[in-house]
Amino acid sequence: MKSISLYQDKNTVIHRIDPLSKILYILVAIIVPFLLASQIASAAFILVSIIILLMGKSLKRTVPMLGFSGLILITVVIIQGIFRPDNVTPALVLGSVVFYKEGLLFALGISLNVINILMSFSILVLTTKPSDMVETFVRMGLSPKLGYVLSSVFQIIPQMTETMATITDAQRSRGMETEGNLTTRVKAFFPLISPVVMNSLITTKERAIALEVRGFDSKQKKTFLTEVKKTRSEKVIKIVLAAVLILSLIGRVLIWLR
Amino acid sequence: MAKIVVEHLKYRYPLTDELALKDISFTIEPGEFIGIIGENNAGKSTLCQALVGIIPNFYKGAYGGKVFIDDLEVAKHSISEVCRKVGIVFQNPFNQVTGSKLTVYEEIAFGLENMGLSRTEMMERIDYSLKLLDIYQYKDRNPFDLSGGQMQRMAIASIIAMRPEVIILDEPTSQLDPQGSEEVFRAVQSLSQEGISILMVEHKMEKIAAYSDRVMLLKDGKMVAFDTPQKVFSLENLEQYGVNAPAFTRICKKLGIKNQKNGCYPVTLEEAEGAINLLKNGGIADE
């Protein structure tokens, strides 16, 4: 079954880390450079993220994401580099187009921030099983119903796509034109809607009953099949992350006082 | 173990005029294996859903009468309370997959997590039910990647793991091959021997005849007969109710061979064989 989540099952240290630590890392990676207002901190976190992703054997999967946001970042560089109001010092002259130093530095700051956020989220998204992530939230007090919605999306949507493919095939086998130019395709889309929608409505109703008879609505406090691993290294990771956060907070206050 | 008492149960679906269940009353003892038969739209599934409380808790509509599981009145409790005593497996296994779990093992744990069981208890129950239904080797697969038959067994296993006192199966073998459905019947029978009451809707009459203690025949929402398989399948006007007797019964009916002990037509191969042997020996019992 094809999956819509970006997660890939690999057996590495990073995959085994508690999702909570990863969420904490995202917070730290975003807040610390902001507190210190430092591009070096952003760059440092990007480097750390890259190392973590390398350890998780998932660095390659960030490329499409970076490629997409890279496109946007390039426009930022071009626009800020040429048109930023406080541009004074020319840095690069390409024919009649002049890139200014101030604008380029500003664009660099934005780019570093975006890449940093992207990379730190990638660690969570690429190396954590969606169901584990949701379970962590439910353990922390998220309603199990909302948790179910979040985690079922990852399976139900691909299932619906599959149903749609089956219905298309069935219609095609009865002689309906589904391929060809744009008008044929648009025409082929309409007869697809009602069976797909009806089908999902019926499926949803039946699934709701099936969930009910398995005690989904139970008032009983839920327990979990998977065990929370409370290892010492997990603790160390969390303490280190918290320490970094606190230190940067102190650093910020010190900068202020000066 | 639980005893089921149904008193004058009537039900009408919303937006319909005719009653789907018309004044049904019966009692089922603990550990009984009940086969429910009848043509399409006879009310079999509706009755099953009424026993778990899906009717009237999930489907509204007009409801009358009472359903008791021991002293628990189904209509007055939520489905999540009733489901600790009564488990139900539906026809379409695909729609019973929760969709929130990534492996068969976790899928079966879903109901147990909701019941608030401890981890060790869960694992013990899951292993037991996976092995009972012979799907232990698929425990790490994605539930949606299973074949229809495997999915159906998983649906049964996930209910069995909850250890209800009554299990209702609504055409649970529709996607299984003959061997697979035989295995399901055996597994269910062993549960009934442990004292769990079983109610099974099924169209495979030979199987119903072989495994049921009693057979309930429904027609247009009414209970026509509720008796031993021999008596129900020996009914003269069985075809009128849209039910075909097992092949052995039909053959014996045509040949006029009756089981001398109870005066009914044989319903299983063994019974037919016994009756025919008796005839061959000139009416003297075979030792």
Write the secondary structure of B118-154 as one string of H (helix), E (strand) and C (coil): CHHHHHHHHHHHHHHCCCHHHCCCCHHHCCHHHHHHH
Is B122 in CB contact (< 8 Å) with chain A?
yes
ipTM over 0.90: no
CB contact under 8 A, B109 and A221: no
**DSSP code for B259:** B
Distances (CA, A) of A193 to A169, A197, B114, B214, B281: 14, 6, 35, 46, 68
Is A76 in CB contact (< 8 Å) with chain B?
no
Is A3 in CB contact (< 8 Å) with chain B?
no
CB contact under 8 A, A207 and B102: no
Indicate if the pLDDT at residue A193 is higher than 90. no
Indicate if the pLDDT at residue A115 is higher than 90. yes
CB contact under 8 A, A131 and B106: yes
How far does A131 lie from chain B, in Å, by closest CA? 7
CB contact under 8 A, A155 and B99: yes
CB A159 within 8 A of CB B144: yes
Task: Please indicate, yes or no, if residue B71 is contained in any of the structural domains.
Answer: no
Is B77 in CB contact (< 8 Å) with chain A?
no
Task: Please indicate, yes or no, if residue B135 is contained in any of the structural domains.
Answer: no
pLDDT band at residue A94 using 50, 70 and 90 as cut-offs? confident
Sequence-distant (6+) residues with CB within 8 A of B175 are: B93, B148, B149, B151, B152
The per-residue pLDDT for range B125-175, each reduced to its tens digit, is 999 999 999 899 999 999 999 988 899 999 999 999 999 999 999 999 888
Q: Which residues in chain B touch residue A200, judged by CB atoms under 8 angstroms apart?
A: none
Whole-prediction pTM value?
0.83
Count of domains forming chain B:
1
Q: Domain coordinates of chain A in residue numbers? A: 13-128+229-257, 143-213
Structure tokens given for A9: 């099952």
CB contact under 8 A, B144 and A155: yes
Q: Which of residues 151-190 of A touch B (CB under 8 A)?
A: 151-152, 155-156, 159
pLDDT at B287: 46
- Residue B37 forms beta bridges with which residues? B217
pLDDT band at residue A90 using 50, 70 and 90 as cut-offs? confident
pLDDT band at residue A190 using 50, 70 and 90 as cut-offs? confident
Task: Please indicate, yes or no, if residue B276 is contained in any of the structural domains.
Answer: yes
pLDDT band at residue B1 using 50, 70 and 90 as cut-offs? low
pLDDT at A3: 67
- Of B38, B28, B6, B13, the residue nearest B225 (C-alpha): B38
Spatial distance between the Cα atoms of A30 and A42, rounded to a whole number of angstroms: 8
Overall average pLDDT of the A37-65 stretch: 90
Q: Which residues in chain A touch residue B77, judged by CB atoms under 8 angstroms apart?
A: none
Indicate if the pLDDT at residue B285 is higher than 80. no
How far does A106 lie from chain B, in Å, by closest CA? 44
Overall average pLDDT of the A183-207 stretch: 87
CB contact under 8 A, B114 and A215: yes
In chain A, % of residues over pLDDT 70: 99
Is B151 in CB contact (< 8 Å) with chain A?
no
The per-residue pLDDT for range B185-233, each reduced to its tens digit, is 988 998 999 899 999 999 999 999 999 999 999 999 999 999 999 999 9
Per the prediction, chain B carries an average pLDDT of 91
